[in-house]
Amino acid sequence: MPEQYDAIICGGSFGGLAAAQQIGGRVLIIDRLEIGDGETSASAVPIACLEKMDMTHVIDQVHEEIYLHTRRRTQKLTFFRFCTFNYRQFCEDLFARTGAEFVRARITSARAGRVETTAGTFEAPIVIDSAGWRTAAGKGGEKAARASRKSFGVEARQPYRGEGLHFYVGPSRGSRRFYWAFPAGDHVRAGLATYTGASDLSGDLERFCDDLHLGPPGKVHGGYFTSRLTDAVRDGMFLVGDSAGMCLPVSGEGIRPALVFGQVAGRLAERVRTGEMRLDQALSAYRAFVQSRGKGYRILDRLQSVLNVLPDPLFALFARYIATPRMLRYANRGYWNVASPDLLTADKAADPLPATAVPA
């Protein structure tokens, strides 16, 4: 007989761990890698995320400024405070808080009530899919077919000390590259991404590291991510993070949405576990909450499509315009509300959707 749980979470990174933190009872997390082994991003978030979750001890470095480097100009932007942090420590410490069980296995199929893996079959009335761009639903090629706006990024870690988050915009040739250099204490996280699905980026990364005088990149990590919001409910499951295309276009920020939507999904799942809500009610509430943030995603998505092909002089003009005080205030507010860190908590939330969870 398949082993029974109160909830099963597919994926043991940001979204899955954030959801598990909000659910009581017997919870199982399934991932093909050990907790803390699956880093694919630059591990940078608004510092408010870690403050709200009482996880500031994992911070490597705090950054007050963002610098946007275009071909002939550097523009300083003052958004909210960001930080780079230790991915492994974050995941391991958050997992310890969840009290969940863990199975390392590859998921072969998932749907409402049942998850099949290479380690056996597991059942639970609640399933949360946070398995990444492939998603946990379907089999084989069906997983890839479900991805939305599949983008790709790579990153290397090099010895370095500096201040501020630095973004570099590559020349537009119909497939613009977006580069970054994020100092993190004694090293820098240098990488690049494209929003067109191009994945042969190793040569570009080597040239970028050479331009910054960092030397040849050593160990490289990265992968695909999704940056076009899709339905957050599928096959009777809550979808979180890349499974639902929650990575923010333009910035490529995926950790904050995964944490925010992961906790909201977990809170609603907990109401199902305790009998306060039916599963269909919880799924509907989650879908409505995610859709209430859809306008912000659509604006960023359209902007990303324009920026991909915008001629370099116009891109520099756009950077100057977005840095004006009036526009920066507007952009800050809208960008924050798409996935507001104010919704995060260090403990199980009393309400599934706090009063601050109003449509953006």
CA atoms within 13 A on the CB side of 177: 20
pLDDT-derived band at 9, boundaries 50, 70, 90: very high
Q: Is residue 109 part of a domain?
A: yes
Provide the whole-model pTM: 0.92
Whether residue 356 lies inside any domain: the answer is no
| Mean of all residue pLDDT scores within the chain | 89
CA distance 49 to 241: 15
Q: Look at residue 37 and tell me whether its pLDDT is greater than 70.
A: yes
What's the DSSP call for residue 306?
Answer: H
Percent of the chain with pLDDT over 70: 92
Q: What is the CA radius of gyration of the chain?
A: 20
Question: Dihedral of CA 247/249/252/256: which sign?
Answer: negative
31: helix, strand or coil: strand
Residue 116 falls within a domain, yes or no? Answer: yes
Domain-located, residue 168: no
| The pLDDT of residue 141 | 41
Q: 306-346 pLDDT, tens per residue? A: 888 888 888 888 888 888 888 888 888 889 999 999 999 99
Pull the structure tokens for residue 49. 């995320």
Query: How many distinct structural domains can be found in the chain?
Result: 1
131 vs 140, more confident = 131
pLDDT at residue number 148: 60
How many CB atoms lie under 10 A from the CB of residue 89?
15
**Cβ-based neighbour number of residue 157 at 10 Å:** 19
Q: What is the pLDDT of residue 145?
A: 36
Give the least confident one: 46-60, 113-127, 198-212.
Answer: 198-212
| Mean pLDDT of the 50-75 span | 92
- What's at 20, amino acid-wise? A
Strand partners, 110: 115
pLDDT of residue 195 exceeding 50: yes
Query: Between vectors from CA 289 to CA 288 and to CA 292, what angle results, nearest 5°?
Result: 85
Residue 276: the pLDDT is 94
Q: What number of other Cβ atoms are within 10 A of residue 318's Cβ?
A: 18
Looking at per-residue confidence, does 79 or 84 come out higher? 84
Query: Could you give the angle at the alpha carbon of 31 between the alpha carbons of 49 and 8, nearest 5°?
Result: 80
* Residues spanned by the domain of 314: 3-148+227-343
Is the pLDDT confidence value at 71 over 80? no
The band of 113, judged by pLDDT with boundaries at 50, 70 and 90, is very high
Instruction: Give me the pLDDT at residue 138, please.
Output: 53
Query: Residue 306's domain is classified under what CATH number?
Result: 3.50.50.60
Q: Report the C-alpha dihedral over residues 58, 62, 68, 73, rounded to 10 degrees.
A: -140
**Would 163 be classed as within a structural domain?**
no
| Residue 140 banded pLDDT, cuts 50, 70, 90 | very low
Q: Mean pLDDT highest for which of 83-92, 187-196, 243-252?
A: 83-92
- Report the alpha-carbon distance of residue 205 to residue 336 in Å, rounded: 30
For residue 261, the SS3 value is helix
Q: Which pLDDT score is estimated for 149?
A: 67
Q: Is the pLDDT of residue 27 over 60?
A: yes
Instruction: Judge whether 299 lies within some domain.
Output: yes
Average pLDDT over residues 50-62: 97
DSSP letter assigned to residue 2: P
Q: How distant is the alpha carbon of residue 61 from its chain centre?
A: 19
**Which residue in 333, 232, 351, 345 sits closest to 289, CA to CA?**
232
**21 assigned to some structural domain:** yes
In a domain, 212, yes or no: no
Q: Is the pLDDT of residue 139 over 80?
A: no
Q: What pLDDT does 332 receive?
A: 85
- Residue indicated by tokens 């907990």: 270
